[in-house]
Structure 1
Amino acid sequence: MKRRTLLLSLATCGSAWSAPVSPALDRRAVTVRAPSRAVLLGAALAGERFVAVGERGLAVVSDDCCRTWRQAQVPVSVSLTAVAFADERHGYATGHGGTVLRTTDGGLTWARQLDGRAIATMMQESAMRGGDAAQRKAADRMVADGPDKPLLDLVVSSPSEVFVVGAFGMALATADGGNTWAVRSGLLDNPKDLHLYAVRRRAQVIAIAGEQGLFLRSDDGGHSFRKLTLPYQGSFFTLELPSERDIITAGMRGNVWRSADAGSSWQQLSSPSPAAIIASTLRQDGSFVLASQAGQLLSSTGASLEVLKTPSLPPLTGVLPLPGKALLALSVEGVHLLPPVVALKNTN
């Protein structure tokens, strides 16, 4: 993908990629001179180490609280979209071409556990067992298309348990560290195979946000899901679960919605900007921070959102909390280490 922001990358999911993905699945990540200035799309903590992933298979690590970064060893050169860790050593990353990578050394080296070629075959076999003609047709099309569809987010529940979601309704899970995978798409009320952009877990609650207002919730650890109805039918690119009943989801045109009753009712939070919100994070105190395509970081103050006072930032792709309310922001220009920030007054 040549487009330089996560939002534009996601927008292309409605059509096939113009360039073949298969060669990049078997080619090592591109080596870059300044890894901290590359396009990065996701970040996570592995114990006290910071790990970020991004375009062309890039994975970078920092052991000095984000001041310096070095490149990790990655066996693919597809763009990596998200990363998460179970503990200081065991983590996973998702990416284009249906890629799932695994690390057992805190992000220094990665191994491929899954790609779109295997996913297409698994979905075809699952459709054949289920006897659904429409699912069989969709699976046959995936096999014919090749590995051109990205996985976009994941939750890592333990070193061996991972749930991943992506474009065209892809959802898969492993319980043995990626040795075997099970297709979970059939558990979702998603007959149009809408894109699944974000997934989060808290205890037994798993929530998925997606295209055209799609929002799904499981209260049994992912064994079953139900569709929640929201007042907004635009795409949601991110979500957070401050508690098992509280939900925050955000996406197109600055739309941010909050539920305090597990999705039974929703309140829209007034946003200071119509820019798309494409990433979010929870702080230790339970508050949340949103990152927008306009280079803004937003926080909640009751029923509205306020812009955090930061230096001028490029379009953002991710955000992660640091000790003492500092933030790590990811962008199309790399990482930005931000000291503790305060909110500007919302004049809306």
Structure 2
Amino acid sequence: MLNKFIWLLAASAVAAVTPFMMQAQQSEPQAAYQMPQASKALLTDLVKVNGQQLVAVGERGHILLSQDGQSWTQAQVPVQSNLSSVYFINPQQGWAVGHDATILVTADGGVSWQLQHYSPETDKPLFDIYFADAQKGIAVGAYGIFYRTDDGGNSWHKHFHEELLLEEEREYLAELKETDPESYQIETEALLPHFNRFYADGNALYMIGEAGFAAKSINFGDSWQRLDAFYNGSLFDITGTPQMALLAVGLRGHAFISQDQGQHWQQITLNRNATLNSAFSDDNGAVYLVGNAGTLLISRDGAASFTDYSQADGKAIINGLVWHNLLVLVTETGVRTINLSELK
């Protein structure tokens, strides 16, 4: 079992191998196959769209739509790359990202998708995408890959944020830039850690990643402050709690909470040590942690304590959300729904 299914995404020294064979890279994108059992295959992310629809993404370019969390239809997608994250800025306009530096856009609520960016030669997957409005977006992924758009994704431009490096790395690059420009360019493609996930809280944008990386921006990612390290392992998700705290989760059951916008963090003691893939909350104030080995933990006291509802089949849960009276989860074996009345 791998350590993090968002790293279905790619081979990594930190996370283990993926549970399926990665497709051979192709220079030209191939449309995703329409698969009757797509809702039972590996899915990696899930969002609500305007309270009316769910959109999930996963392996082999699968994008699925549902209005009830139970029945799913597959969208038309022009690429077979594994997808890792999906984001909607309004009921019609959304984006998805994944392997091969793939960026997809929809203008019809997810029914059909068009390719905005595709670069298999980079061999770097994108892990998350966020838009401040319909024009300004950023997408990030492995080895510090960072793309920005100011025109709704019609053009995407790569950026290198030197301020996200450690001090000794900045000094090393400064010297290399003067003495060996070619090596400098190569190093800028490898020194930064994997960027795994965004979380927006008002004007603040947080980003977490590999090897305890955490950073904060107050100008939509134009510049960043690297936060003091509070954990030396990889972090895979960050979110806000209903009580206005920040919650970050990662490898081997590690979870941390911050009450001061990320300046200081305290570890949360949990009774499971499986890797945590995602954290989210519902409108009633409950906080959910999901992860490998069927991990499902729920807090009803602001993440002070968690009750274990982990699933007996041990299948990795990648993400989830609450939809009416259902907990809808995306897992290594597709969509799973649990009636909330079963979790009292």
CA contact (8 A) 1:202 1:244 kept: no
Letter in 2 for 1:97: D
Give how far 1:329 is off: 0.5
Bigger mean CA offset, 311-320 vs 19-28: 19-28
1:315 matched residue in structure 2: 316
Name the CA distance, whole Å, in 1 between partners of 2:286 and 2:105.
30
Letter in 2 for 1:93: A
2:159 matched residue in structure 1: 184
| 1:125-172 deviation per Cα after TM superposition (whole angstroms, max 9, x unaligned) | xxxxxxxxxxxxxxxxxxxxx231100111233232322110000112
Please provide the CA RMSD for this pair.
2.8
| 1:41-97 deviation per Cα after TM superposition (whole angstroms, max 9, x unaligned) | 11112221111110101111112x112111100000010111111111110001100
Name the CA distance, whole Å, in 1 between partners of 2:149 and 2:284.
31
CA contact (8 A) 1:280 1:291 kept: yes
Which TM-score applies when normalising by structure 2? 0.83
1:137 matched residue in structure 2: none
Name the CA distance, whole Å, in 1 between partners of 2:101 and 2:243.
29
| 1:185-227 deviation per Cα after TM superposition (whole angstroms, max 9, x unaligned) | 3255135211011111122111111000000111222222111
Name the CA distance, whole Å, in 2 between partners of 1:284 and 1:69.
24
Q: Structure 2 residue aligned with 1:85, among 71, 88, 92?
A: 88
1:338 matched residue in structure 2: 338
Q: 1:343 to 1:266 in 2, by over 3 A?
A: farther
Give how far 1:261 is off: 0.4
Equivalent runs, 1:173-252 vs 2, <5 Å: 173-186=148-161, 188-190=163-165, 191=169, 192-242=191-241, 246-252=245-251
**Does 1:49 find its partner at 2:53?**
yes
Q: 1:106 to 1:313 in 2, by over 3 A?
A: farther
Name the CA distance, whole Å, in 1 between partners of 2:208 and 2:260.
17
1:126 matched residue in structure 2: none
Equivalent runs, 1:240-319 vs 2, <5 Å: 240-242=239-241, 246-300=245-299, 301=301, 302-308=303-309, 312=313, 314-319=315-320
Bigger mean CA offset, 284-293 vs 159-168: 284-293
Structure 1 segments, 4+ long, off by >6 Å, are 2-5, 15-20
CA contact (8 A) 2:10 2:124 kept: no
Equivalent runs, 1:17-56 vs 2, <5 Å: 22-23=25-26, 26-47=29-50, 48-56=52-60
Name the CA distance, whole Å, in 1 between partners of 2:201 and 2:243.
6
CA contact (8 A) 1:246 1:262 kept: yes
Equivalent runs, 1:140-179 vs 2, <5 Å: 146-179=121-154
Q: 1:50 to 1:33 in 2, by over 3 A?
A: same
The structure richer in helix per residue is 1
1:103 matched residue in structure 2: 106
Name the CA distance, whole Å, in 2 between partners of 1:241 and 1:81.
21
Name the CA distance, whole Å, in 1 between partners of 2:308 and 2:27.
39
Q: 1:277 to 1:67 in 2, by over 3 A?
A: same
Structure 2 gap segments, 5+ residues each: 170-190
2:327 matched residue in structure 1: 327
Give how far 1:310 is off: 5.9
Give how far 1:230 is off: 3.3
Name the CA distance, whole Å, in 1 between partners of 2:313 and 2:26.
38
CA contact (8 A) 1:24 1:76 kept: no
Identity %: 27
CA contact (8 A) 1:160 1:175 kept: yes
Name the CA distance, whole Å, in 2 between partners of 1:337 and 1:24.
38
CA contact (8 A) 1:291 1:297 kept: yes
Name the CA distance, whole Å, in 1 between partners of 2:39 and 2:281.
23
Structure 1 gap segments, 5+ residues each: 118-145
Letter in 2 for 1:168: Y
